[in-house]
Chains A and B, each alone.
Chain A
Amino acid sequence: MTSEELADAIIRAFVEGGEAFLEGTLAAALPAVWLLVLALHLARPYVLDTTRGLSLRLAADIWWILYLAIRDGLVALAFVMSFMYLFPDVLVAEALPIGGSLATAALFAVLLTKLVADADDDPRAFAIVSWLLGAGALLYVGPTLVGVQASALGLGDPWDRLAAALVTSTNPALAIALWWVSVAAISAMGVVAVWFNLRAPADLPHEVGS
């Protein structure tokens, strides 16, 4: 082996290893992020009770703003972290939960619902968001536990076959089919979001920022 070949091997290890490490870290962190998103969504009654208990309007506004910013910011963050599920090469190469791409579409649907409807005042919109978050968490955390994690244990059939079916790299046909569905759904929802933005009144109230 020449020094040039050794250098090339080290470079490839750096780049490919770095990419796999980044994707693996994101996939490992996402179940926690999903559960946090769900917990913050379900914490709304508690936050409202606390808001009502505050005697100063300023404190109530700040408490509510903080809750909204963290809750909805985390949904946006989870969507951005899940973006790798929209890249077919990543799905085929890495051992990822099979429902990851659908869960990403569910996150985008949550963001769209919050954009076009008032999910804090409209009970129907709140219920839609709750169902979408519940389904998304199930689609992500379920295959992570039963598929990605269980496949590493070697439990024998039928568990191994079930685990292989729930991992993208061992079931690429289903992973790519779900990817097409997710990309089509996200594209359609993106068009709705843009259309809503172009039609919604976008001028700032005069008293703000003056």
Chain B
Amino acid sequence: MTPEQIADAVALALARGGRLWLVSTIGALAPALWALTLLLHLARPYVLRTLGKLSLRFGADLWWLAYVIGRDAVLVLTLGVSVTFLMPDLVLKLDLPLTAPLATLFLFWALAARLRTRGGDGGRTHRLMTALLVFGATFYFVPQTFAVEASSLPALAGFAAFFDSARNPAWAGPILAASLVGFVVTAAWIFTGGLGASNRRARGGPPASGVSVVR
């Protein structure tokens, strides 16, 4: 090979490999972020119990604030990373969990529930979010653990072939399309609700029932 050809090969590898490396890094981060999202969300009773033991309101506010910031920041970060699973080119060509786009949609619904329900941190919202996050995590972790990361197990060969997005494009395409539609509709719902609440506040009117986007 001439030096020119080697330079071309390295440039090609950097361009293609860099993109692939970025995507695979995000893919590797997603299970950790999903697990952290669930852990922090389900830790709420423990955090509330500890809150009750603190002797000063300052300490209680500090503890609660740190929890809320960590929990919600991880939720948003997980959603940001999971948007990768809504990219058609990646879902149809790489070995990703078949139902990962649905998991992203459920995660987005959980975020929407926090934004659009009255008293965004109340007990009812917590239960609704728990249900949405558990469904999302199931859609993500089951195919990730038993299909994408279990190709070496003969006992799970059939399951792995079905739940791997690149190996089952007949199902991956419609699931992705349905998730994208759901994502756009939910985004529009959050946007119009937020805009409506802002306009009402600007005009000095009361917020609509069930909406407390802008405090």
Closest Cβ–Cβ distance, residue B186 to chain A (whole Å): 23
**Which residue of B54, B123, B150 contacts A202 across the interface (Cβ within 8 Å)?**
B123
Contact string against B for A residues 162-190, beta-carbon threshold 8 Å, 1 for contact and 0 otherwise:
00000000000000100000010000000
CA distance A15 to B17 in the complex (A): 7
Interface size on B, residues (CB 8 A): 58
**CB atoms of A209 and B64 under 8 A apart:** yes
Contacts of A111 in B (CB 8 A): 39, 43
> In the complex, what residue of chain B is closest to A56 when comparing beta carbons?
B56
From A5, which residue of chain B is reached at the shortest CB distance?
Answer: B9
Closest Cβ neighbor of A90 among chain B residues: B149
- The reply to whether the CB of B126 lies closer than 8 angstroms to some CB of chain A is yes
In-complex Cβ contact of A197 among B126, B144, B149 (8 A): B126
> What mask results when residues 165 to 182 of chain B are scored 1 for a CB within 8 Å of chain A, else 0?
000000000000000000
Task: Produce 1/0 per residue, B52-77, CB < 8 A to A.
Answer: 10111111111111100000000000
Nearest A residue to B153 by beta-carbon distance?
A: A88
Shortest Cβ distance from B24 into A: residue: A15
With A7-B10, A203-B123 as contacts: A14 and B17 at CB distance below 8 Å: yes
Partner of B54, one of A65, A87, A89, A201: A65
Is residue A41 within 8 Å, beta carbon to beta carbon, of the partner chain? no
Residues on B with C-beta less than 8 A from A52 are none
Q: A3-B9, A4-B12, A196-B45 are in contact. Are A208 and B51 (CB under 8 A)?
A: yes
B16:A202 contact, CB within 8 angstroms: no
User: CB of B209 within 8 A of chain A?
Assistant: no
Q: Are the C-beta atoms of B44 and A202 separated by less than 8 Å? A: yes
Q: Which of A42-50, A75-83, A127-135, A139-147 forms part of the interface with chain B?
A: A75-83
Pick the contact of A89: B21, B51, B134, B151 (CB < 8 A). Answer: B151
CB-contact partner of A115 in B21, B35, B45, under 8 A: B45
Contacts A4-B12, A62-B59: A204 and B48 contacting too (C-beta < 8 A)? yes
Are the CB atoms of A89 and B5 closer together than 8 Å? Answer: no
> How far is the CB of A163 from the nearest CB of chain B, in Å?
22
Q: Is the Cβ of B121 less than 8 Å from the Cβ of A88?
A: no
Contact A208 B64 (CB under 8 A): yes
Answer whether residue B196 sits at the interface, using C-beta atoms and an 8 A cutoff. no
**Which residues in B have their C-beta under 8 angstroms from that of A86?**
145
Q: Produce 1/0 per residue, A66-108, CB < 8 A to B.
A: 0011001000100111010011111011000000000000000
Question: Nearest A residue to B33 by beta-carbon distance?
Answer: A80
Find out whether the CB atom of A19 lies under 8 angstroms from the CB atom of B149: no
A57–B17 contact, CB under 8 A? no
Is B26 among interface residues, defined by CB-CB distance under 8 A?
no
Residue contact B9 to A7, C-beta cutoff 8 Å = yes
Minimum distance in angstroms from B5 CB to a CB of chain A: 4
> Are the CB atoms of A14 and B66 closer together than 8 Å?
no
Given A15-B17, A18-B24, residue A194 in contact with residue B134 (CB < 8 A): yes
Which residues of the other chain, A, contact B32 by a CB distance below 8 angstroms? 80-81, 83
A11 within 8 A of B: yes
Q: Is the CB of B28 within 8 A of A3?
A: no
Which residues of chain B have C-beta atoms less than 8 A from A80's C-beta?
Answer: 32, 35-36, 39
State A15–B24 Cα separation when bound (angstroms).
Answer: 7
Seen from chain A, the residues whose Cβ lies within 8 Å of a Cβ on chain B are 1-4, 6-8, 10-11, 14-15, 18-19, 22, 57-58, 60-62, 64-65, 68-69, 72, 76, 79-81, 83, 86-90, 92-93, 111, 114-115, 118, 176, 183, 193-194, 196-198, 200-205, 207-209
Q: Can you sample 16 A-B contacts with CB below 8 Å?
A: A3-B9, A6-B10, A7-B10, A7-B12, A7-B16, A8-B13, A22-B28, A62-B59, A64-B54, A65-B59, A69-B66, A86-B145, A111-B39, A114-B46, A118-B49, A197-B45
